Structure 1
């Protein structure tokens, strides 16, 4: 009887975990759909000449894009923290040039820093010197750096200073983020990395946050065999966060340190599949402004009809469509001889590792979580070698 009751409780717990995972996945999809529309509209408006020449309008667009990124990060952090706690977070370890990651995150937060007149001092290895390469998951490293830097921007008062450094110490790579903000009371330091453990002092700021960012950072750092520490002299004395990550030792493998210039969409023929008329229109306009020739389809059947009579350099497809979903569409696409190898990218609000695996199994080359930025699409297109086919 005891064994039966234990098995029953186990099954109930498993059912609860499945329901929770389904809830978080659906929440992500539903919240990211409007964010995606906001992001794409902002990208489109930002490229209008009238906006580029108008300082106030440009600043407003930067603010919108920054808010979208922050909101998307919160959603992703919640999902990732849930995956960590259930052991479902998968890491893809690879060589990661930490300097590039830091510079990209600083660039993304530049607008927020300017709004507060903050100075971000980068103390990184000189360009041209040997890069400091970590063995880590590039996506998770970006999350770590983003959370630490966005916290520094949030909790540093106007006209303050933030210092970001990168060096090698005792066979590990160390990232340090130091600010001269409000600091952390010494008695709160032991629980600063706990879930909802921002501490009483930070909970009374104008921007308290959810208290999940640092908890996720610790989990991500430790999952990659690193460690993290926080120190502060107390209230009003600023804070220092230090992260150590393993050094990548296999330097016989090539590491790309250069960023390719030019637009991959210039002259390229794209098929865009999405059941949302708003997203189809916005993305078509945005991609055409980048020089692409865009054909749109409202569902899987329409997409297959387009593919039967034409060739394309790239397929961009939503997953959660009524009738034939994106997985089934791509399985049928790969059965068409002329499109067996056409690069294809899944664009979806379902961002879990399991969703990316499903996309790969269906035949997609890449899986991009919404909200989708033009910069991300350009990067993925370059990685896939997308370019206009010349006669």
Structure 2
């Protein structure tokens, strides 16, 4: 590495020589023949002049590493630069100090690179810590529902329960499975959003209806905690272009956050207004609040571990991260305010609104085909899953045939002529999409309603199923209420020969 070199003479440190690199370092100034205090006046308030005096007085060298010097550039502007340097005293024949030889090496780029590397290391350490916290939370949250599911299953297996106890055990399993499904759905949502894989369906949505749907979802938690929820909704309701499911998810996550972090019998207030082409929706609570040091991080995934160390409130700490991502996908913003611990918090979402049209008409109840039995073919190589789904369907008045061997499905379907076929996608030997294509090619099953059931729910998976001929796509575990609604839309059972 080339060095800037200068020779200073006498106690005033007069420049006797300076090589071109040194002169470039000091902004091209003519320094030879001038005392350093006169040639480089910006050093007056810096430690280097005192160090030169000390080296000259003591006659011993001084070495500096990575130290900052404020030096004027060619425009006279000061800028910080980093140097490694040596102040080496020179002596006469009698051993008296006569001057100082200065060697300096600029290392600004290296220092910046080192600081950048250190910052990345700290960031990686923090992310590693968040990952560990998240894995601990995930294990905790999955064990919670697994315990009652296991207990209820053991009771049912014992076969000694009366009808009421059986119903109660079954209800526990259903409730806890739905809870686990919600956890997995949240995880998948975060993954899809952060990778840019979420596509929102932009349609006119009445925000008042969105809020009421969200309140209906969160009401059991609010009531269980004894909170009072106040709604302030404008009339007429403002309208936005967006995805109904995702907008409900935004509001529901904010309400859930308020309910979880507010001690029992708290106050939650949801207010909405529209002005200057934007809808503003705020959720405020009188709960535990947010410390100042955490306020700027509340929308980061997994921050809940730092906010609630006892984990009594449950959840994976990703609800607010989803709120931020989904709001931004709708062209909006979200912010958080809190006066500190114990002083509540307020979250405000702002979305662009559109010119309101007439409210949507209510659905025609007469068009609902629910309650009419169907002939249904269930195809799944998982025997337990297929039999349990068949039992549920038969209990709702449907006729069901179960087939667990994929290669036998087409011939069985031709003979059975189902109204609806529920096909697992991940089948051995012949996957569900290929099976759907073959069923569509047969005259007897060309018009059968085909429903895909899969553990994968990404857009590419759904599109592949659509191209194969599926009419509907459900993600495991199947929500039976959703399936029943779908069957209701399919209309009454067809008439079959033979």
Structure 2 residue 291 is matched with structure 1 residue 185? yes
- The answer (yes or no) to whether the contact 1:191–1:197 under 8 Å persists in 2 is yes
- The answer (yes or no) to whether the contact 2:379–2:403 under 8 Å persists in 1 is yes
Structure 2 residue 329 is matched with structure 1 residue 220? no
Structure 1 partner of 2:453: 347
- The answer (yes or no) to whether the contact 2:327–2:349 under 8 Å persists in 1 is yes
More helix by share: 1
1:373, distance to aligned residue in structure 2 (A): 1.4
Q: TM (normalized to structure 1)?
A: 0.75
1:331, distance to aligned residue in structure 2 (A): 1.0
Unaligned residue ranges in structure 2 (runs of 5+): 1-141
1:356, distance to aligned residue in structure 2 (A): 1.2
More strand by share: 2
Structure 1 partner of 2:118: none
Unaligned residue ranges in structure 1 (runs of 5+): 1-30
1:171-210 correspondence to structure 2 within 5 Å: 171-198=277-304, 200-203=306-309, 206-207=312-313, 209-210=315-316
SS of residue in 1 equivalent to 2:296: helix
1:178-327 correspondence to structure 2 within 5 Å: 178-198=284-304, 200-203=306-309, 206-207=312-313, 209-249=315-355, 251=357, 255-258=360-363, 260=365, 264-327=370-433
1:260, distance to aligned residue in structure 2 (A): 4.2
* C-alpha separation in 1, matches of 2:231 and 2:173: 26
With over 3 angstroms needed to count, the CA separation of the structure-2 counterparts of 1:377 and 1:173, relative to structure 1, is farther
SS of residue in 1 equivalent to 2:441: coil
1:366, distance to aligned residue in structure 2 (A): 1.7
SS of residue in 1 equivalent to 2:408: helix
- The answer (yes or no) to whether the contact 2:217–2:252 under 8 Å persists in 1 is no
1:66, distance to aligned residue in structure 2 (A): 4.5
* C-alpha separation in 2, matches of 1:343 and 1:264: 15
Structure 2 partner of 1:388: 493
How large is the RMSD of aligned CA atoms in angstroms?
A: 3.5
Alignment partner for residue 73 of structure 1, among 157, 175, 182? 182
Structure 2 partner of 1:28: none
Structure 2 partner of 1:13: none
Structure 2 partner of 1:103: 212
- The answer (yes or no) to whether the contact 1:202–1:208 under 8 Å persists in 2 is no
* C-alpha separation in 2, matches of 1:339 and 1:118: 53
Structure 2 partner of 1:20: none
Higher relative contact order, chain-length normalized (CA < 8 Å, sep 6+): 1
With over 3 angstroms needed to count, the CA separation of the structure-2 counterparts of 1:249 and 1:362, relative to structure 1, is farther
* C-alpha separation in 2, matches of 1:119 and 1:164: 11
* C-alpha separation in 2, matches of 1:96 and 1:320: 36
- The answer (yes or no) to whether the contact 2:372–2:492 under 8 Å persists in 1 is yes
Q: TM (normalized to structure 2)?
A: 0.60
* C-alpha separation in 2, matches of 1:249 and 1:380: 32
Q: Per-residue CA shift, 1:260-307, capped at 9, x if unaligned?
A: 486625222222222222222222221222222222221333332232
* C-alpha separation in 2, matches of 1:298 and 1:349: 17
1:191, distance to aligned residue in structure 2 (A): 1.8
With over 3 angstroms needed to count, the CA separation of the structure-2 counterparts of 1:305 and 1:72, relative to structure 1, is same
> Which structure has the greater CA radius of gyration?
2
Structure 2 partner of 1:116: 225
Structure 1 partner of 2:470: 364
Alignment partner for residue 145 of structure 1, among 251, 268, 272? 251
Structure 2 partner of 1:17: none
With over 3 angstroms needed to count, the CA separation of the structure-2 counterparts of 1:68 and 1:307, relative to structure 1, is same
- The answer (yes or no) to whether the contact 1:96–1:138 under 8 Å persists in 2 is yes
SS of residue in 2 equivalent to 1:109: helix
SS of residue in 2 equivalent to 1:191: coil
SS of residue in 2 equivalent to 1:350: coil
1:62, distance to aligned residue in structure 2 (A): 5.8
- The answer (yes or no) to whether the contact 1:164–1:178 under 8 Å persists in 2 is yes
* C-alpha separation in 2, matches of 1:102 and 1:64: 29
Structure 1 partner of 2:196: 87
